[in-house]
Amino acid sequence: MNKVRVWVAAAALAAVGLTVVEISRSTAAQEKGLVEGINKVAEALKKGDKTGAAKLAEGVAKKFELDEIMHAFKPRKKGGLGVGGNPGAITPDGIEQSVQKLKRDVPPKADVEKNAEAYEAMGYQIAALGEITKAKVPEADKGKKTRKDWVIWSNDQIDGGLQLAKAAKEKGAQGVKTAADKVNTACNACHTTFR
């Protein structure tokens, strides 16, 4: 009788294990779709196609929840986009942490020159995430949580991201700091109200 219970328990655990594997695979596929969507919006912004970027952002916003979208700001090892093409080449490796570091002090000119491409790409990704966030505007105002503020802070994030991309391309350390500060301020204002 005990052997039967062991077999039933083993079969149940195996079924749960397969379900977890399937959920993990599906989550990875969704994340891949999100990353692709963010990068398509970023590419449209890089080309100066704000209308196209907004349209692409609306499509991404419909497919993903806000917390999934915001997760892109996390370090690569935690499932975020990361910064730069090679994991760990730039530290910190998360967009949010990099923005906080860059806004604190003017980054060394050598750092901006060395990582200009990575910071430029990060700027466009920040702007893309702002476009996607703007498309997730709440349906109605709730006290201090207004649609107007949501759009204002999303636009500030977009503008800050585009300024960061431009400053990085021009290898301007002060411009990178100023843009990172604008992004950080927009994010903090929105999180303070809407979280």
Domain boundaries, the chain: 2-194
Residue 2 pLDDT level (bands cut at 50, 70, 90): low
Q: Is the pLDDT of residue 96 over 60?
A: yes
Alpha-carbon gap, residue 29 to 161, rounded angstroms: 27
Q: Is the pLDDT of residue 129 over 90?
A: yes
Residue 142: helix, strand or coil by DSSP? strand
Q: Is the pLDDT of residue 103 over 90?
A: yes
More confident residue, 103 or 195: 103
- How confident is the model at residue 182, as a pLDDT? 96
Alpha-carbon gap, residue 109 to 125, rounded angstroms: 22
Average pLDDT over residues 54-63: 97
Q: Is the pLDDT of residue 165 over 90?
A: yes
Residue 88 pLDDT level (bands cut at 50, 70, 90): confident
More confident residue, 89 or 177: 177
Omega before 138 cis (within 30°)? no
Alpha-carbon gap, residue 167 to 177, rounded angstroms: 9
Q: Is the pLDDT of residue 15 over 60?
A: no
Q: Is there a contact between 125 and 99 (Cβ–Cβ < 8 Å)?
A: no
More confident residue, 177 or 32: 177
Q: How crowded is residue 103: how many other Cβ atoms within 10 Å of its Cβ?
A: 21
| DSSP structure class, residue 80 | S
- How confident is the model at residue 5, as a pLDDT? 54
Alpha-carbon gap, residue 58 to 41, rounded angstroms: 10
Model pTM score: 0.84
Residue 46 pLDDT level (bands cut at 50, 70, 90): very high
Distance of CA 118 to the CA centre of its chain: 14
